[in-house]
Amino acid sequence: MARATSASIAVRALVVLEEVNDTPKISFTKEDPWRIFRIMAEFVDSFEALSQVGPSVTIFGSARLPSSDPYYQKAVELAKALAHHKLGVITGGGPGIMEAANKGAYQVKGKSVGLNIELPHEQKGNRFVNIPIHFHYFFSRKVCFVKYSIAFVFMPGGFGTLDEFFEVLTLVQTQRIPRFPLICFGRDHWNGLMQWMKSRLEEKTRFISPGDLDLVTITDDVQQATDVILEYIRQVGPPEIVPKAFA
């Protein structure tokens, strides 16, 4: 577990004071000024922990895929390959593809990071995380996925995976972060979306520019995905300055 920081300790102290004070309670769910402390603590704790991990790759994908699914095994293999090259593996810390990626890194004694968040359904932490970080807010968790990664892999997934895909793609397209490798793994899953964006967004409406879709690599091959990431590191390396999105 990430160790407690001064910010998180301060938040806990405020909660205790609320409970023992005779004055009316100030609830985090009702008073925005006090909620700032909770937000600050979440960022301080996560930034401190992740800054020690080193160059990492975030792997997104469905929480609903069983371990028998071929994409589950592909995620295990990819995470193993990345961990063998001393890259940390970051996931949402839950089941499905997230578990598979954490499992791969864990099995080869790599850095297996899980940015977990409590959800009403389906999300619970997996046992293959060796650097667990827990979040209350989606937005602070999303920042950490991007801030500490030098490449992104999007395995098949639902709304959450699509949300992260379009957010990271927008940050790269607008040059708010460097042109990190963006890899969509699974041609059968991703080709329909890419074809629609090509015909509708690029050619018909011109809502995106020619070449924008070239920011994305689509593959079914673990070795190709690994090579794309390693080639980026060889040619460019980790960013020497803080990306604009986080400056």
Can you read off the two tokens belonging to residue 154? Answer: 């999007």
Distance between CA atoms of residues 93 and 51, nearest Å: 18
What is the signed CA dihedral for 119, 125, 130, 131, rounded to 10 degrees? 10
Chain-centroid distance of CA 124 in Å reads 16
Cα(93)–Cα(236) distance, rounded to whole angstroms? 28
| DSSP three-state, residue 188 | helix
pTM of the model: 0.86
- Provide the pLDDT for residue 9: 58
Partner residues linked to 217 by β-bridges:
183
List domains and CATH numbers for the chain: 6-44 (no CATH), 55-238 (3.40.50.450)
Instruction: Give the C-alpha separation, 133 to 1, whole Å.
Output: 7
Residue 186's pLDDT is 98
- The reported pLDDT for the residue numbered 245 is 74
Q: CA dist 27 to 7, 148, 247, Å? A: 18, 32, 32
- Rounded Cα gap, residues 227 and 161, in angstroms: 23
Tens-digit pLDDT string for the chain (247 aa): 445 555 555 555 555 444 444 545 555 556 777 888 889 999 999 999 999 999 999 999 999 999 999 999 999 999 999 999 999 999 999 999 999 999 999 999 999 999 998 777 656 789 999 999 999 899 999 999 999 999 999 999 999 999 999 999 999 999 999 999 999 999 999 999 999 999 999 999 999 999 999 999 999 999 999 999 999 999 997 776 667 777 6
The predicted structure's pLDDT at residue 32: 74
Nearest to 154 by CA among 142, 143, 169: 169
pLDDT computed for residue 17 by the predictor: 46
pLDDT at 71: 98
Taking alpha carbons only, the member of 88, 228, 77 closest to residue 148 is 88
pLDDT for position 44:
95
Look-up: residue for tokens 């909620």? 35
Looking at residue 20, its pLDDT comes to 45
| CB-side neighbour CA atoms (13 Å) of 214 | 3
Q: Tokens for 63? A: 């929480």
Number of H helices, E strands in the chain: 8, 7
